[in-house]
Amino acid sequence: MRTEQDTLITPNRLHPKEGEVIDRATTIRFTFDGVEYPAHPGDTVASALTAAGVQVLSRSFKYHRPRGLLCCSGHCPNCLVQIGDEPNVRACTRPVEAGMEVRAQNVWPSLKRDLLSLTQLGSRFMPVGFYYKTFIRPQKLWPLYEHTLRHVAGLGEVHIDTPLGEFDKQYLHTDVVIAGGGPAGISAALGAAEGGAQVLLFDENPTLGGHLRFTVPLDSSSTPEVSKDLPELLEAANQQPNIAVFTDTSVLGWYQDNWLCAVKGTRLFKIRTKSVVVATGAYEVPLIFDNNDLPGVMLGSAVQRLVHLFGVLPGKQVVIVTANEDGWDVAADLQSLGVNVGAIVDEREPNACSSPYRDGLVNAGVPVFYRHTILEAIGSNAVRGAKIARIDERAAISPTTTQSLNCNLIVISMGWTPATELAYMTGGKSEYNEECAKILPVSSPPGVYVVGRASGTHAVDSQIAEAHQIGSTAAAFAGSGEVNKLTAQSSGTLEPRRTSDRVCVPGNKKRFVCYCEDVTDEDVELAIAEGYDSIELLKRYSTISMGPCQGAMCSMNTIHLCARANDWTVQETGTTTARPPTTPVTLGALAGQNMEPVQTTPIHQWHLDHGAAMMVAGLWLRPNHYGDPAAEAMGVRERVGLIDVSPLGKLQLTGPGVPELLERIYTNRWENLRVGRVRYGVMCNDEGVVLNDGVCAHLNDETWYMTTTSTGATTIFEWLQWWLQSGWGEGIHLTDLTDVYSAFNLAGPQSRAVLEKLTERDLASKAFPYMRIRSAKIADVPCRLLRLGFTGELSYEVHCPSGYALHVWEALMEAGREFGIAPFGVEAQRILRLEKAHIIVGQDTDAMSDPLSANMAWAVKLDKPDFLGKPSLMRISDEGLKQLLVGFKMADPDVVPDEGLQIVEPDADGRLKIIGWVTSSRFSPTLAAAIGLCWLPPELASQDGAPFTIRIDGHLKEARVQHSAFYDPDGERLRM
């Protein structure tokens, strides 16, 4: 409940009025730097603090000067605060919540008494770019510099122990996107929707209406009140079923082919649309004068937002500085609320003013200073007065006319700059329009339209008429409705000029161009004098427009200053490039949900239930082991084991053209492979680099069944598709069966005995020898059996339809129980294959390995007519091999070198040089030895038993070359 005391501590809260968005019936409490304040639901953090008379919300980036509300629309850096764990929150747009803990950022020791503000005493020694000049020497002190700078110049704090938030993404598809929900945006949405198009309307504010929520339409001659046009527009939009409205949603960027990105809190939208209407409005431009950053200096639109939306008046004695009718609007608005308007300072001649409120204000006794401007905001932590002076005939300030006015609020209403970032991103062109002193879009790519204040149209009536037509044009572009002939013209040039050329009033104190990075007009002049004269260089050197406001407050003024210093026109000076995001976005929203796609086999749950330690292999999750990989390997050697090899790539090739294709893609011979036989094959690319290996079986007359490595399955499928579709596909059909079939390797001396229990097929070696394929029913499921030997033992690869995979797996485990069967994982398989010195493509080979060097010369038939890689392999063979892949055994069986370690040899000077490297290594439980594979120079690799040294943690350890397989070199166990 609101108490009497709350009323006392919210002196700036006005009486209730129409149009406000706060719920006065409820009072909630929050803290700012530990002090409790009341607020109403609907208040922003900043409006509640302003109601309580708090003016200083932050300290500036470099000089730690006190800063207060300036734009009140989320487009300047002055109200950035830390809320709980979240840094850099804009207090002026973040709705306040009960119990919120708000803190000031970048202050030491406190916001009120920030000792770091003493830095400005030394500002003479910290000109623009001073850190580039100062902190480069000595280089070794940089870590200290960096630590100190990070502490002194910074924004909020990121707490690394903050729990991961909930973020997500949504994809939207539509005909027309309208970016901005002011009068022009709503009207364009209506125009498009009436043409039959589906429309998405985005606005960054909590409700639609843009400036109509808090301003008086220009053409209204009535007493100030919230626009009468707005309810009508909102009602029409509400009735229109084709319009979907997204409030609190900022459109962050435009990308090719009308792909847009928008963010609403923790949700990121990715939107594909056929056409876009940019209705992003305009930013009010600050004026550069002495102490223009003092809390209490605010833009006119900011004051109107506070007054009309939140019932908060930020100051009771007001001086309004203007150069157009908008300043008079603000004056009339405030006066109607009973505010004492102390003075209107208008740059223009009296006869240039055509405000409908002029007579009323003058008659009410409001002092008006024509041909005057402001020189300085007086005060230390808040505005206490304004120093003004007359502008003489040559447009210069005449110092003798200086006078001071008492006030606690200075309203700046000098003009507007269109918010054209999105229009710029689409590739549209813009030009400086002298008539209205604005940079306006002059062209945009097909399907992109700019309306309202973003296009320079200021009067609400014109905006509404023009945008409605452009909306229907956008719908027609998207394929809905007829294209209307454009009758409404942009009235930008017909309107009274609303933006002043004067952007900077000279003085002798600090005048800020850029509030984000504390850059003054003198800094800009210095940077230009130092040679950073082009607008893009000036931006990078001074960091103007690179801070949180992203140029909303500073871009236009900087362009004017740059033009003046160089004696260029504004058009010649140009603009900087606008890039996404238009407004700051959290990394969490960009990242979305913390999800990674994984592939699991049909046996996945069984593995988990049986204690498997899973590992990531490509996208697959595979059992690495079930507790003891060495015991699993010994179980295969001595009894029988079962491994899930479902991730193997499985391709079926059908048709008369297959043999010729196999000859082309493999390095060895295929045309003589008879039905029922399986052959190992290596695939190379045309550079002669090993791409993949696996087996291919001749299943029946015109069908072949190929397996590839697990991680290469997708790549090889795409590779084969390319060759088939680019000329080698005659008479061939290729099908990817990787997910259709699951595969298990039943390995070990007892594997035949296990399998015999589950099939009627004769498994005797004579009927089903090594390197053959057979179809058979296993546990009543039709399977393909391949007799292979990757592990070095008698083994059968069982390929079964994935839907029955778990049934077959469990049947095999059950049948094997009496033989002591155990599942084994990838680690045990790696030990087993290494004992046989079988290579793994991608582990033992890399993107430079050819099969001749990788100990696979036996699988390369250079006398074949042609195959992929042959011309390169011929040349490699002719030139001689540079490195060979060979097996090695460590002298000390307890020393297993890590994979990747260097093999070294002393050169003539006794220095060690690298001559090779280890690619695979394991302790072999079967042989009780440390074994591995490595690359060595040919002269060393070709000598069986030759010693060499591996560098392990700085020590040299001896190993010897071994040519034969470490286990069962003659392969007798495979053929049992």
Partner 1 sequence: MLLLTCPNCGDRNVSEFRFGGELSSRPKDPSALSSAEWANYLYMRNNVMDAQTEWWHHNAGCGLWFLAERHTRTNEVIKTYPYAKRNA
Residues in contact with partner 1 by CB under 8 A are 255-257, 259, 272, 686-687, 714, 718, 721-722, 725-727, 866, 870-872, 875
Whichever of 402 and 721 has its CB closer to partner 1, that residue is: 721
Whichever of 627 and 871 has its CB closer to partner 1, that residue is: 871
Cis omega (within 30 of 0) for bond into 925: no
Whichever of 238 and 721 has its CB closer to partner 1, that residue is: 721
DSSP 709: -
Say how far apart CA 476 and CA 807 lie, in whole Å. 58
Whichever of 871 and 969 has its CB closer to partner 1, that residue is: 871
Could you count the other beta carbons within 10 Å of the beta carbon of residue 879?
Answer: 8
Say how far apart CA 169 and CA 172 lie, in whole Å. 10
Max distance between CA atoms of the chain, in angstroms, equals 117
3-state secondary structure of 303: helix
- The CB-of-846 to partner 1 minimum distance in angstroms stands at 18
Say how far apart CA 902 and CA 189 lie, in whole Å. 66
Residue by residue, DSSP assigns 504-571 as B---SS--EEETTTTEEHHHHHHHHHTT--SHHHHHHHH-TT-STTTTTTTHHHHHHHHHHHHT--HH
Whichever of 133 and 173 has its CB closer to partner 1, that residue is: 173
- The CB-of-882 to partner 1 minimum distance in angstroms stands at 17
For 638, residues 6+ apart whose C-beta sits below 8 A from its C-beta are 748, 749
Whichever of 142 and 255 has its CB closer to partner 1, that residue is: 255
Say how far apart CA 281 and CA 300 lie, in whole Å. 15
Whichever of 554 and 665 has its CB closer to partner 1, that residue is: 665
Whichever of 270 and 960 has its CB closer to partner 1, that residue is: 270
Whichever of 664 and 963 has its CB closer to partner 1, that residue is: 664
Residue by residue, DSSP assigns 605-630 as HHHHHTT-EEEEETTEEEEEESS-HH
Whichever of 686 and 944 has its CB closer to partner 1, that residue is: 686
Whichever of 395 and 862 has its CB closer to partner 1, that residue is: 862
Say how far apart CA 211 and CA 299 lie, in whole Å. 13
- The CB-of-651 to partner 1 minimum distance in angstroms stands at 12
- The CB-of-258 to partner 1 minimum distance in angstroms stands at 9
- The CB-of-663 to partner 1 minimum distance in angstroms stands at 14
- The CB-of-760 to partner 1 minimum distance in angstroms stands at 38
Whichever of 590 and 613 has its CB closer to partner 1, that residue is: 590
Say how far apart CA 893 and CA 896 lie, in whole Å. 7
Whichever of 866 and 970 has its CB closer to partner 1, that residue is: 866
- The CB-of-72 to partner 1 minimum distance in angstroms stands at 35
Residue by residue, DSSP assigns 393-461 as TTS-EEEEEEEEEE-SEEEEE--EEE--HHHHHTT-EEEEETTTTEEEEEE--TTEEE-GGGGT--SHH
Give the N- to C-terminal CA distance of the chain in Å, as an integer.
89
Print the SS3 string covering 629-678. Answer: HHHHHHHHHHCCEEEECCCCEEEEEECCCHHHHHHHHECCCCCCCCCCEE
Whichever of 294 and 665 has its CB closer to partner 1, that residue is: 665
3-state secondary structure of 871: helix
- The CB-of-685 to partner 1 minimum distance in angstroms stands at 9
Place of tokens 């406190």: 110
Whichever of 305 and 870 has its CB closer to partner 1, that residue is: 870
Output the CA torsion sign for 697, 699, 704, 706. Answer: negative
For 5, residues 6+ apart whose C-beta sits below 8 A from its C-beta are none
At position 960, the amino acid (one-letter code) is R
- The CB-of-722 to partner 1 minimum distance in angstroms stands at 5
Say how far apart CA 931 and CA 926 lie, in whole Å. 11
From 333, 321, 315, 345, select the one nearest 408 (Cα to Cα).
315
Structure tokens at 856: 């696979």
Print the SS3 string covering 308-352. Answer: HHHCECCCCEEEEEECCHHHHHHHHHHHHCCCEEEEEEECCCHHH
Say how far apart CA 774 and CA 783 lie, in whole Å. 8
At position 295, the amino acid (one-letter code) is P
Find out whether 417 and 555 touch, Cβ atoms under 8 Å. yes
From 426, 445, 474, select the one nearest 174 (Cα to Cα).
474
- The CB-of-707 to partner 1 minimum distance in angstroms stands at 19
Q: How far is CA 262 from CA 295, 521, 665, 834, in A?
A: 32, 34, 47, 53
- The CB-of-255 to partner 1 minimum distance in angstroms stands at 6
Whichever of 23 and 686 has its CB closer to partner 1, that residue is: 686
- The CB-of-257 to partner 1 minimum distance in angstroms stands at 4
- The CB-of-450 to partner 1 minimum distance in angstroms stands at 21
- The CB-of-715 to partner 1 minimum distance in angstroms stands at 10
- The CB-of-648 to partner 1 minimum distance in angstroms stands at 20
- The CB-of-419 to partner 1 minimum distance in angstroms stands at 24
